[in-house]
Structure 1
C-alpha cells in the first residue's frame, strides 16, 4: 500500500436522549464568533498515519498505540478536492480493514482506523482524537478552497459533519504552506500535489478559513454540549512563517499550534546538521536561519504568541547524509561538516542523502534522505557497524556518525526528549508533538512507546493522565414492547434504527454508515420487583441480572451484532410472572462497542412500555424536580435525591447533569454518582421527562464539594479465577476497584458499565 508521507523542508522559505429524534443535519454557519476552547496545561500530541496498518510499518494497529500516555491523537491524513469535498487518502485503512479488532470483518460498520480509535479512546478517557487535514503531499487545493467563499463554506460544512459522524474531539489543519509555491515531487510520491496555486493572498485567506472552521465547530459543540478544539501544524522556518502566516490573528483563533520543529536540516543541504535540535549551535553554518526549537519559540513569543499555545516537535525518525567529512573536532566528528553527492535517488539524480530503511522506488519514497524509524536504529547499526552515537551538548541533540563510511544521522532519543520536556515546563509551553507513532520503539509490549513514554513522563511524571468527558451523538432509535404467551409469558422487544443514508460524498457516506449503525449492542432494563426476566429466545443472546438491571448482550448473536440504518431487531425476554405488563419496561438503556472485547463507547436511553406509541399531541412537560440534595458524600461518590415530578400522563424518568454534562438517566428520584475527584466542587441539575418525550426545565443547580482523598482500603490483587461478591475490593495494574455485584473473570477497568467500580 502507498504511504502518504509528511515532509517539511525548511530550507525553502518554504445526547441528547433519543426522544429528541435528532439525525445529523447540514450545518448552517452563524455570524462569526471566534473563540478558542479552554486549554490544558500540557499536551502530548501524536500523529498516526493511515499507512501504519500495512506491512511496511509492521501492521501497527490503533490498539497497539500507547494511548494512556497521550492527550491528543491525530488521524493523518484526510484529503479534499478543489470544491472542498472530502477524500480518503486510503479508504481501506480508514473504514475498510479490520485493523486487528476482535470479531471485526472487512468493510463492516466497525472496521477501519476511524472506528478503532474510538474504541481506543473509550478504553483511555485521557485521550482526545482528531483528524489532520492536508499534509505535505495533500495541500494543493487549500489556496483555491480558502479563497472562494462557496467552496470554503462547503469545506467547512464537510469538516464539521466529519467530526460529528466520527465522534472526534478536534480538527487539525495542516496546510504546507500558505503563500509558498512548490511543484509536486513525483519521484518521492506519485500522489504529491505540490502547492502550485499558492499566492500571497493565502496569508489572509488562511485566517478566514480558520475563523470559519472555529465558528462552525463552536456552534456544533454548543448543540452537542461538547467543546471542540482547533489546532494547526506550522513550519519551524521563520522565513516561511513570515511569508504565509499571520501569527497574531492565527493564535487568537486556534487552541494550540503544532510547531514542526523537525526536518529543519536534511539531505537537501550540503552539510550535516541537526534536524530537530532544541537549541541553535553557533557552529552550524545555517545558525542564522534559526533552525532550532528555541529559536522558533523565541520568534513566536516576540510576535506576542501565548506560550501555552506553542507545542514543539519531536522526531521519531532520522535524516541522514551518505558521506560527510570528519572535520577537526574530535569530540563531535562529522557535525556541521561538508557532504558529498555520492549517492543517487530512485530517478538516478545525485544526492547528499543516505539510503532509507525502505528501498528507493520512483513514486513511493524515491528520495534518499537517510530516513530510518527510531524503532529500526538497531538494524541501521547492524548495517553500518561503525556508526557511533554522539551528543551535542550545545544543541541538546544526538547524532550518529561513521568515521569509516562518512554516514551521518540526526534524530531524537530519550535524552534529547528529556531536555525538550524540561524546556516546555521552563518556558510554560503547551506540550510536545511527535511524528509519528508507528516509528517509536516497543519496550515491554507490542505498544511502541519508548519515546512516547519519555515525553509523557517528562511532562506529567508517573501519574495517570486526567480523564476527559466524552460526548457522543445519540442515534434516532425507537423501541416497542409487546407481550407474548408461548411456552410461558414474556415480552417481545423490537428496536428500530430510524437513521437513513443521507450523504452522497464517499467519505461522509462511509462514516455516516459507521456512525448510524448500532454495533454490538447491550440493553439495560431496570429490574422490576414483580418479575424476573431471562432469555426468551436465542436472539436475546446473553441475559444477566445485576446492579438493578437486566442486561441483554447481543455480541454473542450474529444477527444482532449490528442494526444498520433503517433496520429493526427483535428479541424475547421470558417473565417469571403469571402475567405481564408492558408498563414495567418503562425505559431501556443502550450501549455500543466497536469490537467484541472493546470498551462500551456510548450510552443512550430508548423507551418501551408506556411509550410504545408516544402521543405527539402531548406537549405538556413534567414539573421541575425540586429539593435536590446530596448525601453520603465521600472523596469519590455521592447520592443525589429530589422530590418526584408530576406529569399530565406519566413521568418516565430523570436526566442528571454534572457540570452541564449528562451523566445518568434513572427511573426514580435518586442517583448515585461515582468516580469523582477528591476535594472538588461539582454542579448538578436534574430534568424530568415523560412518556411522550417532553423534558422539564432543569432543577435549581446544586453545588457539592467532595471530601479530601482518603487512604484506599486494603485490597487483594485481582485474580481471574476468583469469584467476587458485591463490595469486594481488589487492585489491578496499580488501581483499586470495588465489585458492584458478583463477578468472575471480568477484568477491572475494561468495561465502562461492567461489574468493577474504580475507587482509587
Structure 2
C-alpha cells in the first residue's frame, strides 16, 4: 500500500511590420544492440522535499537510470476537480533549483521534473492520481458521467500544462470499503463509498482517459501513456479489478508487490518476496511477486504490460520468536503485541525510523528507509541479515530483542529483474526514490541502479523524443536606424489566465510563462547581428545562427501571460530588410544551468500580419499524398486549408517530429534512408498562431537506391511547376512553367516538353 505521508515553449513568432507567427547475484543482462523496452518506473512523493526525507529534490534523482518518474500524488474532489496534496511542494518551493524564487513560474516539483527530463531524454514524467490516502472520491466520480467527464477534462489540462508524458491512475482499491486511518494520516480519506459497481466503473474511467489522451496526443503530436497501480493480493484483485479488460486499455500496470505482510499480521513474513515460501502461514493468499504474476496471467493480463514492485523501505515486527529453524531464525514466527501506536493501541509492529505521531505516521510498523538500514543496525547491534533462498528475499532479525525487518536489497532486486526478463514482463516499479541509498555519487541510487543494471545491463536507456505544446506568443520585427541600422523585435505573450481551479490556475501560469528565452535567428549571408541594446542580453553566433540569450537580463527572464518584451539587434549591413528574419527558433529553460526545452521553429514572410484577437483554428489540411519518392527524398502534396482570415502556412511532421514549414501545399523531405517507411502529417496555422488538427497520416516507403523513382501519372486537377515530370499515355513530360489542367502533348508549344 503506497501511503500519502503528511510532513510538517516554446513560442509562436510573427513578423510585422513584418510579423512571423513564433552478494551472489543472478546473471546480469548483457548489453545488446536491440535492448528490450523494459520499464524502470519510480515514484517520487511530493513531501520528499521536506526535512522528513532529508530535503530530497528532483535534481538529486538518478534520472539516467529510470524510464518513468511518477509525481505522487495529485488529489481531486467528488466533482472531479483537481486538488493539490501540497501546493508549496508542487508549485511553490524553489526545490534547490538555480535562480528559482519561492512562488516563481518555474518553482516547485512539477517544474523541476520537467528540467530533469530535459537533461535526461531517457526519462518520461507523469502524474499519479489518487494514492492510498486519496482514493476516497474515485467511486463517486467514476460512477457519474458528468463528474467523470469533468475529471478527465481536468487531467488532460494538467498533463498539458505540466508537459507530462503519462497518467498513472492509483485507485486503492475499487470495490474495497475502508475507513479513514486518521492515526496514520490526518488527511486520509479512506474509501467509505466503495461499491461492487466500481469494478466496471474503473474500466469505464480508464477508457475515457484513454480516449482523451489519444485525442490530445494527436493535437500536439505526442504519444501519451496510461498506467495504473494494481493491488497484489488475489482477493483484492478478484473483488475490484476486471483484469482482462483493464489490460486492453492501459499501456502498463504497476503491481504493488510490497506491503504484502506487515504489522497487521500476527507473524513475521516477507513484505516484498519474489517467490512464495510454503512455510509462510499466508502462503495460500499468494503474497509474492511470482504468485501475483501467475494469477494476473490466468485472468488475461498481457505479460509485457505487467510491471512488478520493489520496496525501498522495511516493514517490521517487534517481539518475534526465534523458532526452531536455526538457518532462518525468526522467519514466519509469532510476534507479540507489546508495542503501541500513537493512539495507544497495541500493535505487533516494531518502532519506525521517524517518531510516531498521531495523524503523521502514527502506526508503529517498523518502517525504515533503505538508506537508513545502517542506522537501524547501529541502533540494534544484534540485528543480523539472513537470506531466504526459497523466497529470494532478505531480512534482519535479532535473537536478543526479537526485532524482525523485511525489505529489498541489491541481491533480491537482481533476482526480480531476472524474473522480469525470464517471464517477458514489462519492468519494475519502486516505492520510493527518496528512500534509496547513495553510493559513490551524490544521488540516492543503490537500488535504482541495481534495477537498471538488472534490466538493461550497462547499456544506456534509449532516449525519447520530447514534445511540448505550443504557446500563443508572437514577435513583431521592424527596422530601426539610430546609431546604425538593425531590427527591433517585440515578443508578446498572448496567453491569458483562463483557469479558476487552484491546481489548473497554478500550472497554467507556469506553462504559459515564457521562461529564460533564447532565440536562434538565421540571417542573410554576409550580415552579422550584435546586441543593439542591453535588453538583448548575450548575443553570439553559433551554427550559422545569431543566438540571443535573454537569461542575463532580469526583466526578460520571464515573459508572463499578456506581457511584452522588446530588444534590438544591430546589423552590419548598410540597410536592413525585415524579410531576412523569416525563421526564428525559440527555446526555453527552467533554470539557467539546465539544457533547453520546447524548441519551436516558426517560418514567416513579409505578408503575414497577425491578429491577436483571432482565436479560430484553420480547417484540417486534406488529401495528403506522395507525388514523388526516391531513395533519399519524398515530395508531399495536400489540399489547401481554409481559415476565417488567412492561412499563414503549414507545418510538416515526420514520425511525429516537425521537419519543416512552408506557405504552399507541397513539401520535399530530403536526406532520408533508402528502403525505409516514414509517416507524415500536416497542420495548418494562421497568423495569430492558431493550429489546425493534424491531417490524416500518410506512410511513404523510400525506394531502393538501385531502383529509379517512378514518374507519377499526370493529374488534371494538380498544379505543376517548372521541372516537374509526369507520365501520360506511355510518355514522359517535363513542365516548362507553372501549369494546371493542360494535357501533355495536346498542343505543340504548350507547357509540357516531351522527354521520353
**Residues 618 and 292 from structure 1, CA distance in 2 versus in 1: closer, same or farther, beyond 3 angstroms?**
closer
Q: In the TM superposition, what is the alpha-carbon distance from 1:336 to its structure 2 partner?
A: 0.4
Contact 2:321 2:334 in 1 (8 A): yes
State the partner residue of 1:414: 410
Contact in 1 for aligned 2:42/2:431 (Cα 8 Å): yes
Aligned partner of 1:77 in structure 2 is 73
Q: In 2 relative to 1, CA 551–647 (structure 1 residues): closer, same or farther, beyond 3 Å?
A: farther
Q: What SS does structure 2 have at the residue aligned with 1:173?
A: strand
Find the partner of 2:239 among 229, 236, 243: 243
Tell me how far 1:125 sits from its aligned partner. Answer: 1.1
Equivalence for 1:395: 391
* 1:18 shift after superposition: 3.7
Q: Residues 593 and 392 from structure 1, CA distance in 2 versus in 1: closer, same or farther, beyond 3 angstroms?
A: same
Structure-1 residue corresponding to 2:740: none
For residue 26 of structure 1, what is the aligned residue in structure 2? none
Correspondence 1:537 to 2:533: yes
SS at match of 2:353: coil
Task: Flag structure 2 segments of 5+ consecutive residues without an equivalent.
Answer: 16-34, 706-756
Measure the CA separation in 2 of the matches of 1:454 and 1:265: 24
- How far residue 171 of structure 1 moved from its aligned partner, in angstroms, is 0.7
Q: Which residue of 2 aligns with 1:191?
A: 187
Matches within 5 A, 1:446-465: 446-465=442-461
Q: Which of 215, 238, 245 is the aligned partner of 1:219? A: 215
> More relative contact order in 1 or in 2 (CA 8 Å, sep 6+)?
2
What is the CA distance between 1:700 and its match in structure 2? 8.1
- 1:652-683: CA deviation from partner (whole Å, max 9, x where unpaired): 9885533242145699988887xx9x999452
Q: 2:590 pairs with 581, 591, 594, which one?
A: 594
Partner of 1:95: 91
Q: 2:26 maps to which residue?
A: none
- Partner residue, 1:683: 678
Is the contact between residue 237 and residue 290 of structure 1 (CA under 8 Å) also seen in structure 2? yes
CA shift digits 1:143-168 (9 cap, x unpaired): 11111111111111111111111111
- Whether the 8 Å CA contact 1:480–1:612 is kept in 2: the answer is no
RMSD: 3.4
- Between the two proteins, the alignment pairs up a number of residues equal to 668
The CA distance in 2 between the partners of 1:233 and 1:699, in whole Å, is: 33
Secondary structure of the 2:478 match is strand
Contact 1:388 1:401 in 2 (8 A): yes
Match for residue 443 of structure 1?
439
In the other structure, the counterpart of 2:125 is 129
Q: 1:663 to 1:600 in 2, by over 3 A?
A: farther
2:289 matched to 1:293?
A: yes
**Equivalent in 493, 506, 512 of residue 508 of structure 2:** 512
* CA shift in 2, pair 1:365/1:689, >3 Å: closer
Q: Does 1:4 pair with 2:28?
A: no
Query: Alpha carbons of 1:104 and 1:691: their partners in 2 closer, same or farther (altered >3 Å)?
Result: same
Aligned to 2:573: 577
Is 1:127–1:467's contact at 8 Å kept on the other side of the alignment? yes
Instruction: Tell whether 2:147 aligns with 1:151.
Output: yes
Which sections of structure 1, spanning at least 5 residues, go unmatched? 7-14, 22-38, 632-639, 708-760
Aligned to 1:377: 373
Q: Distance in 2 between matches of 1:196 and 1:584?
A: 66
SS in 2 for 1:360: coil
Cα distance in structure 1, aligned partners of 2:88 and 2:635: 51
CA contact (8 A) 2:583 2:602 kept: yes
Residue deviations 1:215-250 (CA, integer Å, cap 9, x gap): 111111122222111111111110111111111211
Is residue 629–residue 703 contact of structure 2 (8 Å, CA) maintained in 1? Answer: no
Does the aligned pair in 2 maintain the 1:641–1:671 contact within 8 Å? Answer: yes
Q: CA deviation at 1:641?
A: 8.9
CA separation of 1:618 and 1:119: change in aligned 2, threshold 3 A: closer
> What is the TM-score normalised by the length of structure 1?
0.82
Separation of aligned partners in 1, 2:270 and 2:649: 63
1:590-669 equivalence runs, <5 A: 590-606=586-602, 610=606, 613-614=609-610, 655=651, 657-663=653-659
Larger radius of gyration: 2
Measured against aligned partners, the alpha-carbon deviations of 1:426-476 in whole angstroms (never above 9, x if no partner) come to: 111111111001111111112111111111111111101111112110101
TM-score (norm: length of structure 2):
0.82
2-structure distance, mates of 1:618, 1:358: 55
1:318 aligned partner: 314
Aligned to 1:58: 54
Partners in 2 of 1:644 and 1:198 — Cα distance?
55
